[in-house]
Chain A
Amino acid sequence: MINERDRVPGVLLATLAGLAPLLVAADDLVKGVSLAGGFLVAYTVSATLALLLPARVPPIRAFALAALAAAASMTLYTSILRIVDPVLFELLGRRLFIVPFLGPVISVALAPKNEAARDRGWERLIGGLGFALAICLMGFMRELLSSGAISIDLAGQALGRPILPIASQPSGALILIGLVSAAIVAVSRAVLRPSP
């Protein structure tokens, strides 16, 4: 039987694996914020709809509707992004298209198993906020490590001394995700240590 000490990091790591495509794409702060925004929109729409649809709706239909609503909201988000910055849309568009089909978004499109889970639905929404923040942080960290500075627009690269240029590459992102995962496991085990 899986205990709480293994379950909590297990769920977080699985979510991190599902978020990996966005974490790899977020190689600077601007992209991180854009991807996090897209994720938050799709995740929130999907989770909200799954919670609002009554239990009498067949689960597979509720799932399909929540997932399609997330996809529809993403069309709106990418259009707005294109209005704001067409170059950013050309660079990121295809990465944003996959957001409604990522594991964490699809996962919250499933209707809660029972009433107790439905009552705890707000936890899902807060979780989405946390994941979006993690994507932003990843963009921030990778840009800071790779260029030694942070730029807030796409037009120019901030002047800085590169600390760890590999951080901007997909390999650097995957290694960074691995290290963060290990930190999650270590912290979870320390916090959830069974009392003697």
Chain B
Amino acid sequence: MINFRKPDASLVVTTAVIFVLALAGALSSRYASRLSSADFNTLLAPGSNASSTWELLREGPVVGRTVNLENVATYLIVISLSGGTLRAAIVVGKDGETRSARVLGSSSGMPYFKRLGVLIQGLGTAQSVGYSPLDSVLEPLVRNALDTIARAERDRRDALHDK
């Protein structure tokens, strides 16, 4: 005959508390996930909240994208450089080329971030952003972000085409 020992009451209570905490964490996480989609839509495409869909990617500097009813995607990027981050919204065309860019904010006032903001703001426009000695460090970061966006956009278009 198997002899079951009565479990310690304190262990049962503690396990129950952890379970309740985990359940609350899971429910709030799902709620936060839904809420953050709406927030990112508003951030990237102000005014078109109801007609855009947010998709998390978390691929290097690319956090995610919203796609509007015209099938135009806007990507949210966070470029990290030693000592801070810069957030921007990049609108892309059919082939993943940049149509326009908007800096959403920077966590540092260092010259590197100011110049990074200028470089990003100049994407998709014909006007010159000039030259800075800092560009040699910043350009690969911007190029990396744009390459990742182009790759993600190509994958999205391919997936749409296959449907």
Mark A residues whose CB is within 8 Å of B.
Answer: 27-28, 49, 52-54, 56-57, 61, 65, 68-69, 72-73, 75-76, 78-80, 82-83, 86-87, 89-91, 146-149, 154-160, 162, 165-166, 168-172
Contact = CB atoms under 8 A, between A and B. Distances in A.
A61 B12 CA distance: 12
B36 interface: yes
B110 A165 contact: yes
B38 to A, nearest CB: 9
A171 B82 CA distance: 9
B10 interface: yes
A3 to B, nearest CB: 38
Nearest to B113: A157
Contacts of A65: 11, 14-15, 18
A162 B110 contact: yes
A157 B103 CA distance: 13
15 contacts: A53-B14, A54-B8, A65-B11, A69-B18, A76-B25, A82-B35, A83-B31, A86-B39, A91-B78, A146-B109, A146-B110, A147-B109, A157-B105, A157-B108, A157-B109
B26 interface: yes
Contacts of A87: 43, 78, 87
B84 interface: yes
A65 B11 CA distance: 8
Contacts of B46: none
